[in-house]
């Protein structure tokens, strides 16, 4: 992480911005997503855009990308007003966007995903697949990522999908590169490599035929250490409007956070000290061929144990095998002394285990169903008589948990897909907390949610532990791991590489175990 801590060189802004967004307004029905937002991007700068979820950042970049048309306001490119009728027009103007949620074509190969619509052509206008695969391989080599360009995109992990999106955006040799939380699923090493490539694009020494002046980079992230590592200027948005734009060196993180939420926040990691009780979750020799091998650990009541490691180290796979959504090939999982059968999540739920999965849109929520149905899904047994759900009991329970977690939704009957990311995550949490779990497994609990909600989730996890719940947390965010965990288990290549107590765990010690460089250090 040392490169992340390095302070970026300051590049003086040039007179005419590459992109200038002026007084943009946009509403969806009754919701005013943007009201007078503005932003100037200069060639050769990396510009951070920060704000809570729902502040309008995503709407802003979707307008820049040609996906939405603004109700009012204008976009200027090199000082000339432009109108993007669709994404193709924005791309043609040199704007490349990496979206928060990867959207790949599962049936096509990785290389085709990179070059769709602009594949290299050979004789008779045929697609030159060999050339396409070579160019894709060169891109991945530049990103330092091992990836077979000729494999189908189906089955890639979220991190790998994100890397494909990044490679795609970089291959456009864009004048403006927009990144909406590109690092959410990436590990520290991958983030560093990405930043290396982005810095090269920004400074115009990418080695390709990019403009000599370098690209303008717009970077959206909830991770301030990344913002500091990459960006020179920072714009804060709140409630769809521009709050401030400063040189990053002139404002502290505390101040930025205060501007984002418009109020002071409690500590980000409100960890309560709890005396651990009995061993609740006991995992021994857990093995799943090709994924993890001989993983063993214990979690006591009142304890928060973090599973750290690089993306692909097998952390999510371990918790999935513990919960039983994946079979295990060997090993035992005991909850409160009783062994759980392999591959049977229903038995795990009965034994008091809850799993809040990594990918809430795919695995955590039924996006088309109502908030109510989502929140009460695992509790259907308790909430029904003779197999019929009791509407009143269902509504009471959903409303109660919604209120306890401070989730913001219109009505209980609204589709879960209409909520913001942070509120979706709260509904997933509500759904599992309603089962009164003894063991709560959370996989990337704060991925892609805003600072305010993050702190609430942390406070909640801490309170649950204080109530005697055993919490097992998978997280790629080191600060979260260090701030929340009583013990840190670091995984590397499917095995547990080491265990660190709260006192021993630092960014360095965790990364050393995660990358396997303890001997070299």
Partner 1 sequence: MSAVGVKARTGSTALDLVLRFRALGLLVALTALVAVTTAVNPRFLGGQSVRDVLFAAAITVLLACGMTVVVLTRGIDLSVGSVLGLSAYVTASVLAESGMPTGPAMVLGLAVGAACGALNGVIVHFGKVPPLVATLGTLYVLRGVVYFLAGGSRINASDLPRAFLDFGNGRLLGVPYLFAVAVLVLVLVGVYLGRYRSGRDLYALGSNPEAARLAGLPAGRRLMTAYVLSGSLAGLGGVLYAARFGTVDASAGFGMELNVVAAVVVGGVAIFGGSGTVLGAALGALLLTVINNALPVLRIDQFWQQAIIGALILAAIALDRLVSIRAARALRQKGSHVD
Q: Which is nearer to partner 1, 220 or 236 (CB)?
A: 220
Q: Which helix (H) or strand (E) holds 26?
A: strand 19-28
Taking the complex as a whole, the smallest distance from the CB of residue 498 to partner 1 amounts, in Å, to: 17
Distance from chain centroid for Cα 332? 31
Q: What dihedral angle (degrees, nearest 10) is formed by the CA atoms of 427, 430, 435, 436?
A: 160
Q: Which is nearer to partner 1, 55 or 292 (CB)?
A: 292
Taking the complex as a whole, the smallest distance from the CB of residue 173 to partner 1 amounts, in Å, to: 16
Phi, psi of 75 (to 5 degrees): -115, 130
Q: Which is nearer to partner 1, 140 or 195 (CB)?
A: 140
Q: Which is nearer to partner 1, 381 or 417 (CB)?
A: 417
358: nearest Cα among 281, 444, 456: 444
Q: Which is nearer to partner 1, 395 or 495 (CB)?
A: 495
74 - beta bridge partners?
22
Taking the complex as a whole, the smallest distance from the CB of residue 492 to partner 1 amounts, in Å, to: 9
β pairing state of 330-335 and 279-288: antiparallel
Going along 253-387, which residue ranges are E strands? Answer: 279-288, 292-300, 304-309, 330-335, 338-339, 353-356, 384-385
Q: Which is nearer to partner 1, 331 or 379 (CB)?
A: 331
Taking the complex as a whole, the smallest distance from the CB of residue 140 to partner 1 amounts, in Å, to: 6
Q: What dihedral angle (degrees, nearest 10) is formed by the CA atoms of 409, 411, 413, 419?
A: -20
Taking the complex as a whole, the smallest distance from the CB of residue 329 to partner 1 amounts, in Å, to: 12
Taking the complex as a whole, the smallest distance from the CB of residue 74 to partner 1 amounts, in Å, to: 21
Q: Which is nearer to partner 1, 154 or 338 (CB)?
A: 154
Which residue is it, tokens 């250490």?
A: 225
397: nearest Cα among 430, 364, 442, 441: 430
Taking the complex as a whole, the smallest distance from the CB of residue 375 to partner 1 amounts, in Å, to: 26
Taking the complex as a whole, the smallest distance from the CB of residue 221 to partner 1 amounts, in Å, to: 20
Taking the complex as a whole, the smallest distance from the CB of residue 163 to partner 1 amounts, in Å, to: 11
472: nearest Cα among 502, 430, 444, 435: 444
Q: Which is nearer to partner 1, 168 or 202 (CB)?
A: 168
Cα gap 144→517, rounded to integer Å? 18
- Straight-line distance from the first to the last Cα atom of the chain, in angstroms, rounded to the nearest whole number: 14
Q: Which is nearer to partner 1, 59 or 435 (CB)?
A: 59
369 Rama class: left (phi>0) / alpha (psi -120 to 50) / beta: beta
DSSP three-state, residue 418: helix
Write out the residues near partner 1 by the rule CB under 8 A: 65-67, 86-91, 97, 99, 103-108, 112, 116-119, 121, 124-127, 133, 137, 140-141, 146-148, 150-151, 154-155, 189, 289-293, 310-312, 314, 493-495, 515
Radius of gyration of the chain (CA): 24
């Amino acid at each position: 992480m040392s490169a992340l801590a390095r302070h970026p060189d300051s590049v003086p802004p040039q007179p005419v911005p590459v992109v200038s967004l002026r007084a943009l307004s946009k509403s969806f029905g009754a919701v005013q997503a943007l009201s007078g937002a503005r932003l100037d991007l200069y060639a050769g700068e990396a510009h951070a855009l920060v704000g809570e979820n729902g502040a309008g950042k995503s709407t802003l970049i979707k307008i820049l990308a040609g996906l939405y048309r603004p109700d009012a306001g204008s976009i200027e490119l090199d000082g000339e007003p432009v109108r993007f009728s669709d994404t193709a027009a924005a791309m043609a103007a040199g704007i490349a966007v990496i979206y928060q949620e990867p959207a790949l074509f599962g049936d096509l190969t990785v290389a085709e995903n990179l070059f769709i619509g602009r594949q290299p052509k050979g004789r008779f206008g045929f697609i030159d697949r060999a050339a396409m695969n070579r160019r894709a391989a060169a891109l991945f080599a530049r990103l330092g990522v091992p990836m077979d360009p000729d494999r189908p995109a189906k089955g890639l992990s979220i991190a790998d999908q994100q890397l494909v999106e990044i490679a795609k955006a970089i291959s456009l040799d864009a004048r403006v590169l927009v990144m909406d939380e590109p690092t959410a699923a990436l590990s520290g090493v991958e983030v560093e490599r990405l930043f290396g490539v982005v810095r090269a694009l920004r400074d115009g020494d990418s080695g390709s035929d990019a403009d000599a002046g370098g690209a303008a980079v717009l970077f959206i992230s909830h991770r301030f250490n990344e913002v500091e590592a990459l960006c020179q200027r920072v714009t804060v948005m709140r409630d769809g409007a521009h709050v401030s734009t400063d040189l990053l060196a002139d404002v502290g993180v505390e101040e930025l956070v205060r501007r984002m939420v418009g109020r002071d926040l409690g500590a980000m990691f409100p960890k309560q000290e709890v005396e651990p009780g009995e061993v609740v979750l006991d995992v021994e020799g857990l093995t799943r061929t090709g994924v993890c091998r001989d993983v063993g650990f214990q979690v006591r009541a009142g304890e928060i144990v973090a599973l750290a490691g690089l993306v692909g180290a097998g952390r999510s796979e371990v918790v999935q095998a513990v919960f039983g959504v994946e079979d295990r090939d060997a090993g035992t999982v005991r909850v409160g002394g009783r062994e759980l059968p392999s591959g049977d999540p229903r038995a795990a739920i009965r034994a008091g285990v809850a799993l809040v999965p990594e990918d809430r849109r795919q695995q955590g929520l039924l996006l088309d169903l109502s908030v109510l149905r989502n929140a009460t899904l695992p509790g259907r047994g308790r909430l029904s008589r003779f197999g019929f759900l009791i509407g009143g009991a269902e509504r009471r329970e959903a409303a109660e948990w919604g209120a306890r977690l401070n989730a913001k939704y219109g009505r209980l009957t609204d589709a879960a897909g209409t909520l913001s990311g942070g509120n979706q995550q709260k509904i997933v949490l509500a759904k599992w907390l309603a089962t009164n779990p003894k063991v709560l497994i959370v996989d990337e609990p704060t991925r892609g949610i805003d600072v305010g909600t993050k702190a609430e989730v942390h406070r909640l996890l801490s309170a649950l532990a204080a109530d005697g719940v055993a919490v097992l947390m998978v997280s790629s965010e080191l600060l979260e791991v260090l701030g929340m965990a009583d013990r840190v288990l670091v995984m590397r290549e499917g095995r547990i590489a080491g265990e660190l107590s709260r006192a021993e765990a630092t960014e360095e010690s965790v990364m050393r175990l995660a990358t396997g460089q303890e001997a070299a250090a």
